[in-house]
Amino acid sequence: MKQNLFAAVAAAVAFAGGSALAADLPTRAPVYKAPPAYFGWTGCYIGIAGGGAWGRSTHDLTGAAADTGPFHVSGGLVGGTLGCNWQGGSNLVLGVEGDGSWVNKRGDLPNPVTPNFISETREHWLGTIRGRLGVTFDRTLIYGTGGFAVGGVEALSHNTTTGVTISEDKTRTGWTAGGGIEYAFSPAWSAKVEYLYVRFSKEAYFTPPPVAGFTARDNVALNDHIVRVGINYRFGGYY
């Protein structure tokens, strides 16, 4: 009987001591997991882009029996890009983008009435300032774009009989519109493929001609179709 009573008391003491020891142990801090990262397009970027350009030009010859009619111009371009995007709480992305490119685009055609005179158009540089509106599917952005265009356009007239050439450079203004697709292959880098149509306002050249025997142009028209690829470094990404 005494042994059973002693065993019960010992068990009670051991249980009480274990409970007190457990109460003195530090409580483990809860573990919090970071929320998953979501990709966002908000931020600014800088990049490079290049590709090909083609289009048509015409020279309206002052006082001539016939104008040149449209002729093809083509070449390449390469330049830089700077822009910013803003994405709200949806998959819509608003942005503004500017770019400047060196252009090597040209084409010519003999004058219909005087084929020994060849009319030529050259485009030397191009700049645009455009708005962008796009829809994003996580890292993929499909967008439309449009705005203001300015470029350096040269008109030339060659007399193949005498070997004399006259030329005049002018800064031309116009508008542009197009679209593209851009993919962010990392938080900081994205690549794009883009199409732009550019139309310059008509401009008079050689009024009056600097050399006798040449014909002034009432209007020199020019448009561009541009396909280019680019890569951008983005100051944005995950949030």
pLDDT digits (tens, 9 = 90+) for 167-202: 999 999 999 999 999 999 998 999 999 999 999 999
User: At 75, which CATH number?
Assistant: 2.40.160.20
Residue 10 lies inside a defined structural domain of this protein: no
Confidence of residue 67 (pLDDT cuts 50, 70, 90): confident
Share of the chain above pLDDT 70, in %: 82
Number of domains in the chain: 1
Residue 102 lies inside a defined structural domain of this protein: yes
CA of residue 74 relative to chain centroid, distance: 20
Share of the chain above pLDDT 90, in %: 73
- Residue 23 phi/psi, 5-degree rounding, is -70, -30
Q: What is the pTM of this model?
A: 0.82
Q: Rounded CA gap, 62 and 66, in Å?
A: 9
Amino acid identity for residue 18 in this structure: G
Sequence-distant (6+) residues with CB within 8 A of 222 are 55, 56, 57, 73, 121, 123, 153, 172, 200
Residue 29 lies inside a defined structural domain of this protein: no
Average pLDDT in the 90-95 region? 94
Q: Please answer whether residues 148 and 128 qualify as being in contact, where contact means their C-beta atoms are separated by less than 8 angstroms.
A: yes
Residue 32 lies inside a defined structural domain of this protein: no
Q: Rounded CA gap, 205 and 216, in Å?
A: 6
Q: In the predicted model, is pLDDT for residue 106 greater than 60? A: yes
Amino acid identity for residue 222 in this structure: L
Q: In the predicted model, is pLDDT for residue 225 greater than 70? A: yes
Residue 176 lies inside a defined structural domain of this protein: yes
Range of the domain at 218: 39-238
Residue 21 lies inside a defined structural domain of this protein: no
Residue 73 lies inside a defined structural domain of this protein: yes
Residue 14 lies inside a defined structural domain of this protein: no
The per-residue pLDDT for range 6-42, each reduced to its tens digit, is: 444 344 434 444 444 344 445 565 655 555 556 789 9
pLDDT value of position 216? 94
pLDDT value of position 235? 87
CA of residue 154 relative to chain centroid, distance: 25
The per-residue pLDDT for range 113-146, each reduced to its tens digit, is: 889 999 999 999 999 999 999 999 989 999 999 9
Q: Please answer whether residues 120 and 158 qualify as being in contact, where contact means their C-beta atoms are separated by less than 8 angstroms.
A: yes
DSSP notation for 76-120? EEEEEEEEEEEE-SSSEEEEEEEEEEEEEEEEEEE-SS-TTEEEE
